[in-house]
């Protein structure tokens, strides 16, 4: 769940962006990307309900009765079991068709792009419908949840001959993998022979197809190993351990691969995530992003031409880590009871049953680490600025350095207050810091950035004055009695 939920969010965000930008970026590749999104989300959530959750439910779990009660065949359970096999055919078929799409586009873009745009819906129908001739037999057998005492979990079981389904699926996977491999090989041979690799050929999408093909081949090899492995052996256990991750990669890797190779999508997604960050104050996220910006400023001042392209192209990776890595610690809150309680000073506070030290201790360590790193980076940046020549100083974005230094000072104050609250709960000023100091620092982290940018950045200030406040002087013609016209500024 640590990587699944963020991946679903990013995947959905890329699809929304593509939909809104369809008039400018709509191609046959994105048609299949959106189709693949729908199929992958159906696969992921079906796997979650029929495999992941039941496998986590033991005899002592609160949800035991829910799965134990589903011991009789229903159409819903048959659909869940049906989708486990059917969507595997669909995923492999989609990856193969996308590889063929890329190959034909590289061979003759003008001809095949129009054909793909017009008839892609037909391919999508075939991808979904053809596997039904194999997987329909699931509906002829009973399907129900059964408790496995040995592994202490629930399994969705069926009287359907699983081995025959696996055999059909395996041969289909092998065929798709071979076609995908050949298509990608032809595509890149064609690309290497091109005199000029123009942007119109959408070569970055070929790389996306290549990565998907590699994941497809890995899944095929794991399935082969699983078919030949003897139960309870190390090879059998290894394949069972790796297969869910490969399945997740087939379902959830697409947005990250697309963002890696497609600069327009990457800029749009990271821009939205940065804007979303300004709408809320997440303490670990705020500290982490301040530290990352300090590192950004230091590296840019050190070597602008080397580091600026790297930051532009790969900042989305750090943004993803900043947002979702703290969930490893803060996710514990979902397992505790949170309520509003009244304090001795007649104010209300939102508290949880989880001991404060469990959250504050790693937070303070994280804050101190971020603070030290930010101070070192800012000090290094200032030293580089002081030692630079006047010509170089004129080109440096020193105003952004000042902005991040001010942010670091606020970061230091927040770390100090958190330390006081954690280490001295009986301190006389505890209530003051908790009620007024901490919210003030939180608000500063959240809303001070636009004000700092307004004060320190002349282009931003001029833009606000000219386009928003309309304070720019206007030229007005005045006609005096002499008949001449003079130009007056008001």
Dig out the tokens for 103 from the structure.
């190959």
Query: 209: Cβ–Cβ under 8 A, 6 or more apart, which residues?
Result: 95, 98, 99, 101, 102, 180, 183, 184, 187
**Tokens standing for residue 75:** 């159409």
Contact 401, 382 (CB under 8 A): yes
pLDDT tens column, 392-428: 555 555 666 676 677 777 767 776 766 666 666 666 6
- Measure the CA angle with vertex 433, ends 431 and 438; round to 5°: 125
Gap between the Cα atoms of 258 and 483, Å rounded:
66
Smallest CA-to-CA distance from 249 within 131, 99, 95, 124 is with: 95
The per-residue pLDDT for 278 is 38
Where do runs of H (alpha helix) occur along 48-161? Answer: 53-56, 64-68, 75-107, 109-129, 132-135
User: Per-residue pLDDT tens for 339-395?
Assistant: 666 666 566 666 667 666 676 677 777 777 877 887 888 788 778 777 766 665 555
CB-based contact 479:465 (threshold 8 Å): no
**DSSP secondary structure, 438-460, as one string:** HHHHHHHHHHHHHHHHHHH-HHH
CA separation, residue 57 to residues 9, 156, 157, 247, 312 (Å): 25, 12, 15, 21, 44
Question: Given phi > 0 = left and psi -120 to 50 = alpha, else beta, which region is 202?
Answer: left
Query: Angle formed by the axes of helices 162-192 and 75-107, to 10°?
Result: 20
Say how many Å lie between the first and final Cα of the chain, rounded. 62
Element holding 258 (H helix, E strand): helix 254-261
Which carries the bigger pLDDT value, residue 277 or residue 388? 388
Of 89, 138, 385, 60, the closest CA to residue 250 belongs to: 89
CATH H-level superfamily of 4-267: Rhodopsin 7-helix transmembrane proteins (1.20.1070.10)
Decide if pLDDT at 261 tops 50.
yes
What does the pLDDT look like over 45-100, one tens digit per residue?
888 888 777 777 766 666 677 777 887 888 888 888 888 889 889 988 998 998 89
**pLDDT value of residue 2:** 58
- The pair of structure tokens assigned to 427 is 């301190």
Q: What does the pLDDT read at residue 476?
A: 46
**Residue ranges of the alpha helices (H) in 151-233?**
162-192, 203-228
Res 489: pLDDT: 47
Task: Report domain extents, the chain.
Answer: 4-267, 278-340+350-468
pLDDT of 128 > 90? The answer is yes
129 pLDDT above the threshold of 90: yes
Of 460 and 478, the structure prediction assigns the larger pLDDT to: 460
Q: Which of 298-312, 333-347, 430-444 has the highest mean pLDDT?
A: 298-312
Instruction: Tell me the CB-side half-sphere exposure of residue 23, using CA atoms within 13 A.
Output: 1
Distance (Å, whole) CA 142 – CA 73:
5
E strand map for 335-397:
338-342, 348-352
| Lookup result for tokens 């025959």 | 164
Angstrom CA distances, 429 to 350, 425, 426, 442, stand at 19, 9, 8, 18
The residues, ordered by sequence, that sit 6+ positions from 77 with a Cβ below 8 Å of its Cβ are 70, 143, 144, 145, 156
**H or E element: which one contains 475?**
strand 475-478
Handedness of CA 334, 339, 340, 343 (dihedral sign): negative
Query: Using only C-alpha atoms, what is the Rg of the chain?
Result: 29
Q: Please give the pLDDT value at position 126.
A: 94
Task: Tell me what the mean pLDDT of segment 97-118 comes to.
Answer: 87
* Residue found under tokens 């965000």: 13
Q: Tell me what the pLDDT averaged over the chain comes to.
A: 74
For the ranges 67-71, 124-128, 155-159, 342-346, the lowest mean pLDDT is seen at 342-346
Among 22-26, 134-138, 187-191, 444-448, the range with the most confident prediction by mean pLDDT is 134-138
Residue-level pLDDT at 190: 82
What pLDDT, on a 0 to 100 scale, did the predictor assign at position 386?
Answer: 73
For residue 184, what are the contacts with CB-CB under 8 A and spacing of at least 6?
A: 99, 102, 103, 206, 209, 210, 213
pTM for the model: 0.57
- State how far the Cα of 46 lies from the Cα of 272, in Å rounded to an integer: 29
Which residue shows structure tokens 């300004």?
278
In Å, the largest CA–CA distance within the chain is: 106
């Amino acid at each position: 769940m640590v990587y699944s939920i963020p991946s679903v969010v990013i995947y959905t965000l890329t699809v929304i962006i593509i939909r809104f930008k369809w008039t400018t970026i709509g191609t046959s590749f994105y048609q299949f990307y959106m189709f693949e999104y729908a199929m992958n989300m159906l696969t992921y959530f079906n796997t979650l309900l029929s495999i992941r959750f039941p496998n986590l439910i033991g005899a002592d779990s609160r949800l035991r009765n829910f799965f134990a009660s589903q011991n009789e065949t229903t159409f819903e359970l048959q659909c869940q079991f049906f989708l486990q096999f059917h969507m595997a055919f669909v995923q492999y078929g989609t990856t193969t068709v996308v590889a063929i799409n890329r190959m034909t586009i590289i061979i003759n873009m003008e001809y095949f792009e129009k054909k793909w745009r017009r008839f892609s819906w037909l391919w999508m129908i075939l991808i979904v419908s053809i596997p039904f001739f194999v997987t329909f037999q699931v509906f002829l057998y009973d399907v129900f949840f059964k408790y496995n005492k040995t592994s202490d979990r629930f399994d969705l079981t069926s009287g359907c001959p699983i081995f025959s389904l696996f055999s059909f699926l395996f041969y289909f996977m092998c065929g798709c993998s071979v076609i995908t491999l050949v298509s990608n090989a032809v595509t890149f041979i064609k690309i290497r022979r091109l005199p000029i690799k123009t942007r119109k050929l959408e070569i970055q999408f070929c790389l996306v197809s290549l990565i998907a093909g590699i994941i497809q081949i890995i899944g095929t090899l794991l399935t082969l190993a699983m078919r030949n492995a003897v139960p309870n052996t190390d090879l059998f256990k290894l394949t069972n351990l790796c297969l869910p991750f490969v399945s997740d990669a087939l379902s959830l890797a697409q947005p990250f691969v697309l963002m890696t190779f497609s600069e327009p999508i990457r800029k749009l997604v990271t821009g939205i995530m940065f804007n979303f960050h300004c709408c809320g104050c997440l303490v670990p996220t705020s500290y982490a992003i301040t530290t990352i910006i300090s590192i950004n400023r230091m590296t840019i001042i050190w070597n602008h031409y080397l580091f600026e392209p790297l930051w532009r192209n790969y900042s989305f990776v750090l943004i993803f880590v900043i947002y979702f890595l703290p969930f490893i610690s803060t996710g514990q809150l979902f397992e505790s009871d949170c309520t509003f309680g009244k304090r001795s000073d007649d104010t209300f506070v939102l508290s949880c049953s989880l001991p404060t030290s469990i959250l504050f201790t790693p937070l303070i360590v994280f804050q101190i680490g971020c603070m030290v790193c930010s101070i070192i980076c800012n000090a290094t940046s200032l030293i580089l600025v002081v030692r630079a020549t006047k010509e170089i100083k004129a080109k440096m974005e020193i105003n952004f350095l000042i902005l991040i230094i001010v942010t670091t000072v606020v970061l230091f104050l927040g770390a100090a207050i958190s330390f006081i609250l954690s280490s001295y709960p009986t301190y006389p000023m505890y209530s003051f810091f908790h009620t007024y100091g901490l919210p003030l620092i939180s608000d500063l982290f959240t809303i001070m950035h636009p004000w700092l940018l307004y004060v320190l950045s002349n282009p931003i200030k001029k833009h606000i004055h000219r386009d928003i406040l309309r304070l720019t002087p206007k030229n007005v013609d005045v006609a005096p009695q002499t008949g001449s016209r003079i130009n007056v500024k008001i």
